[in-house]
Amino acid sequence: MNHISDLREDYTKHALRAADLVADPFTQFEQWFTQAEECELHEPNAMCLATVAANGQPSTRVVLLKGFSNQGLVFYTNYESRKAIELESNPRVSVNFLWLPLQRQVNITGRVERVSKVEALKYFVSRPFASRLGAWSSPQSQVIASRQILEANLDQMKRKFADGEVPLPDHWGGYRIVPETFEFWQGGGGRLHDRFMYRRDDADQWAPARLAP
């Protein structure tokens, strides 16, 4: 494993200057996300979500962004999962999007709020049949004795909802991340990366500032 310290890549594809930025970080994020899609990156909506438990222990996992607007970023989960339990006790989060082929990252911090039942239902019915069954079959984050338990649960749900109508579980829904900061990171040569942080100023306007790499 000694070779790990020798793994490195110089990032020279792009630069990010203040003149390249738009005033609104939501628009800036949308532009970068669109470029990631246009480059046909695999799952550009994958984001690493960090939460903190009541005892101060952080945890991370990758979730999928399923909605984005000026109100925030939306993802869905089981409300009885570890992440949801941590979010209910501490709604402060951060997420990271890593788009390596573009040598870019976006870091966003903020607070979460639950989306409405109507919004959750609208998304839930758009999911594939197997995914809707999975929401009913898996006690997410709970200890189970074997995979056979999951498969038995799934078989039971297949029989229960054989007509194809799968209702929204009470324990399943979405969260909206309401951003407080955005950081746009563009890899640079010699590790002189370009970083810009947006925060709201005293006039409640978004103000970008360059950060040292």
Residues with catalytic roles: 191
For the chain, the DSSP string reads -GGGGG------S----GGG--S-HHHHHHHHHHHHHHTT-S-TTEEEEEEE-TTS-EEEEEEE--EEETTEEEEEEETTSHHHHHHHH--EEEEEEEEGGGTEEEEEEEEEEEPPHHHHHHHHTTS-HHHHHHHHH--TT---S-HHHHHHHHHHHHHHTTTS--PPPTTEEEEEEEEEEEEEEE--GGG--EEEEEEE-TTS-EEEEEE--
How crowded is the C-beta side of 108, counted as CA atoms within 13 Å?
A: 23
